[in-house]
C-alpha cells in the first residue's frame, strides 16, 4: 500500500481532524522509516503503517483505538538492528573484560587498574581471554556479529554457535589451546553462554515436575563428562542475555540457587548472570506509571480469548503457569518488540492472530485478533 493511502486510512479509522492528522502523520512517517518498517516478520508487501491500520480496526470503538494508538505512541519498546548490535558490541568491553581483569587482579593481589601496567599480570590477562569460550544458546546470540566486533581479541575457535558440541570438538579446542599457550596442563577457565532475550527465565532454567530443564541444564548435560578434564576446577559459567525483564532476573537467580542446593556437586562450580539491558519491573504495562500503559493492559484483557485454540491447545504455556495470558506468556506484560521477532512475553494483542468465534449460550462473540507485529511461533 502507498504510504499516503495508508496514512489516509489511518486518519479515517482514528477519526482525526486535519490538525491532529498532520501531527500524527509526521511522527508515523518518521518512525516507520527509522524503525518499524525493518521488522522482519511483516507479510510480503506489508509494512508498519498498513499493519497498524489493520490492527487498530479490530477495536470496536474510537475510544479503544485511541488507547491502542496511545500505547504505540508512548509505551511500545522496539529494539531495532542498530540497538541490538550495540548490545552485542558492548558485551566484551563492559562485561567480559572487567570480569577477567578482576579475576587476574585477585590472583596476583594487585588493584584491577594495575593489571595492564605489569608484564606478568598483562600476560595473565591475555591467557585468561584465550581460556574463555563463548557459546550461543540460540540464533539470537548473534555470535557472527560478536566475532566481528572482537576480531583480533577473540579467536574464531573460541566461539561456538550452539550449546551442543560433539565431544571430539572439545578435544580439538583444548588441543589448540594447549599448543598455542605451550602449556600441556592448560584448561578452559570461563564459559559465556549468550542469548538475546529472557522474559520469564523459564527457557533458560526451570523446575518441571520435579526435574530441572532449560538451556542451562542441557548445556550441563552436554559437558558434564568433560568438566574434570577440559575445564578448570574454578570454572566460571557466565550466562549473558542482551535483554532481560526483572521477572526473569529474579527467577534465574532463585532457580540457580535452588538447583545448586538440590544437586550439590552435580552442577557447575559457579554460575553468574549478566544482562546488557535490564528492564525494570514497572516496564510491565499493568505496573507502569504511565496511564497509557495501564489503560492498554485493561484493553488487552478485554480482547483476549483464552478459549481460542491458539492458546487453549498450547501446552507450552503451562510452563508459565497458565494458558490465560492476556498480558503475554506468564502474564509478564511486556511492551517489547525485537526487530527479528516479538517475544511471547509481550502483551498478547500485539502479536496474536486468532480466528475469532461466535457467541453461544448468552456468551458474547469474540472478534478475531489481528497482530500488529506478527510473531514467528517457536512453540505450538
Annotate 198-236 with DSSP letters as a single string: ESSSTTTSEEETTEEESHHHHHHHHHGGGHHHHEEEEEE
pLDDT at 98 over 90: yes
pLDDT at 325 over 50: yes
Strands 132-136 and 159-160: parallel
| H or E stretch covering 276 | strand 270-278
Assign 380 a pLDDT band (cuts: 50, 70, 90): very low
What is the C-alpha separation between 336 and 342, in angstroms, rounded?
7
Least Cα distance to 152 among 173, 136, 169, 130 occurs for: 130
The pLDDT value recorded for residue 378 is 59
Higher pLDDT, 314 or 27: 27
SS3 275: strand
The pLDDT value recorded for residue 361 is 60
Q: How far are the Cα atoms of 67, 203, 223, 244, 246 from residue 207, in angstroms, in the given order?
A: 38, 11, 20, 20, 19
The pLDDT value recorded for residue 89 is 97
The pLDDT value recorded for residue 5 is 82
Identify any residues that bridge with 334 across adjacent strands, giving them in sequence order.
Answer: 346
Assign 45 a pLDDT band (cuts: 50, 70, 90): low
Residue 114 DSSP code: G
The Cα angle at residue 109 between residues 107 and 112, in degrees rounded to 5 = 90
Least trusted range by pLDDT, from 29-43, 208-222, 331-345 = 29-43
The Cα angle at residue 54 between residues 52 and 56, in degrees rounded to 5 = 65
Assign 254 a pLDDT band (cuts: 50, 70, 90): very high
> Any alpha helices (H) in the chain, and if so which ranges?
3-14, 18-34, 48-56, 62-74, 81-90, 97-108, 119-130, 143-149, 167-181, 215-223, 227-230, 246-263, 291-303, 309-312, 348-351
SS3 148: helix
SS3 2: coil
The pLDDT value recorded for residue 102 is 96
pLDDT at 203 over 80: yes
The pLDDT value recorded for residue 270 is 93
What is the C-alpha separation between 335 and 317, in angstroms, rounded?
19
Express each pLDDT in 54-94 by its tens digit.
999 999 999 999 999 999 999 999 999 999 999 999 999 99
The pLDDT value recorded for residue 77 is 97
The pLDDT value recorded for residue 330 is 92
Express each pLDDT in 107-153 by its tens digit.
999 999 999 999 999 999 999 999 999 999 998 899 999 999 999 99
Number of C-beta neighbours around residue 364 at 10 A? 8
**Average pLDDT of the chain, as a whole number:** 92
Least Cα distance to 271 among 228, 235, 229, 224 occurs for: 235
Domain ranges (residues) in the chain: 3-75+285-351, 81-278
pLDDT at 379 over 70: no
The pLDDT value recorded for residue 362 is 53
What is the C-alpha separation between 103 and 100, in angstroms, rounded?
5
Burial (CB count within 10 angstroms: exposed 0-12, middle 13-18, buried 19+), residue 83:
middle
Rg of the Cα atoms in the chain: 24
Burial (CB count within 10 angstroms: exposed 0-12, middle 13-18, buried 19+), residue 23:
exposed
Amino acid at each position: 500500500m502507498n504510504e499516503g493511502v495508508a496514512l489516509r486510512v489511518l486518519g479515517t479509522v482514528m477519526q482525526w481532524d486535519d490538525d491532529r492528522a498532520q501531527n500524527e502523520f509526521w511522527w508515523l512517517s518518521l518512525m516507520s522509516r527509522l524503525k518499524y518498517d525493518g521488522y522482519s516478520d511483516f507479510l510480503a508487501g506489508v509494512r508498519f503503517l498498513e499493519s497498524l491500520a489493520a490492527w487498530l480496526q479490530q477495536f470496536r470503538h474510537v475510544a479503544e483505538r485511541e488507547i491502542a494508538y496511545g500505547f504505540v505512541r508512548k509505551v511500545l519498546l522496539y529494539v531495532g538492528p542498530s540497538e541490538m548490535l550495540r548490545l552485542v558490541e558492548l558485551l566484551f568491553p563492559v562485561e567480559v573484560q572487567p570480569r577477567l581483569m578482576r579475576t587476574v587482579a585477585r590472583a596476583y593481589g594487585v588493584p584491577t587498574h594495575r593489571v595492564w601496567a605489569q608484564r606478568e599480570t598483562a600476560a595473565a590477562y591475555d591467557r585468561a581471554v584465550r581460556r574463555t569460550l563463548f557459546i550461543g544458546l540460540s540464533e539470537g546470540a548473534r555470535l557472527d556479529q560478536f566475532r566481528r566486533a572482537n576480531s583480533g581479541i577473540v579467536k574464531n575457535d573460541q566461539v561456538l554457535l550452539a550449546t551442543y558440541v560433539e565431544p571430539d570438538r572439545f578435544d580439538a579446542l583444548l588441543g589448540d589451546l594447549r599448543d598455542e599457550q605451550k602449556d600441556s596442563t592448560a584448561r578452559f577457565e570461563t564459559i559465556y553462554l549468550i542469548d538475546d532475550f529472557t522474559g520469564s527465565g523459564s527457557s533458560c532454567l526451570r523446575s518441571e515436575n520435579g526435574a530441572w530443564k532449560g538451556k542451562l541444564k542441557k548445556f550441563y548435560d552436554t559437558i558434564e563428562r568433560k568438566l574434570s578434564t577440559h575445564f578448570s576446577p574454578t570454572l566460571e559459567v557466565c550466562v549473558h542475555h542482551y535483554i532481560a525483564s526483572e521477572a526473569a532476573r529474579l527467577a534465574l537467580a532463585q532457580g540457580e540457587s535452588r538447583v545448586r542446593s538440590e544437586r550439590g556437586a552435580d552442577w557447575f562450580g559457579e554460575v553468574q548472570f549478566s544482562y546488557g539491558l535490564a528492564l525494570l519491573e514497572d516496564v510491565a504495562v499493568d505496573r507502569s506509571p504511565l496511564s497509557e500503559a495501564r489503560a492498554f493492559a485493561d484493553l488487552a484483557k478485554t480482547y483476549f480469548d483464552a478459549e481460542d485454540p491458539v492458546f487453549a491447545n498450547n501446552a507450552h504455556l503451562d510452563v508459565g503457569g497458565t494458558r490465560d495470558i492476556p498480558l503475554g506468556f506468564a502474564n509478564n506484560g511486556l511492551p517489547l518488540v525485537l526487530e527479528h521477532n516479538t517475544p511471547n512475553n509481550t502483551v498478547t494483542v500485539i502479536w496474536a492472530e486468532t480466528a475469532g468465534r461466535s457467541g453461544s449460550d448468552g456468551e458474547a462473540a469474540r472478534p478475531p485478533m489481528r497482530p500488529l507485529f506478527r510473531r514467528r511461533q517457536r512453540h505450538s
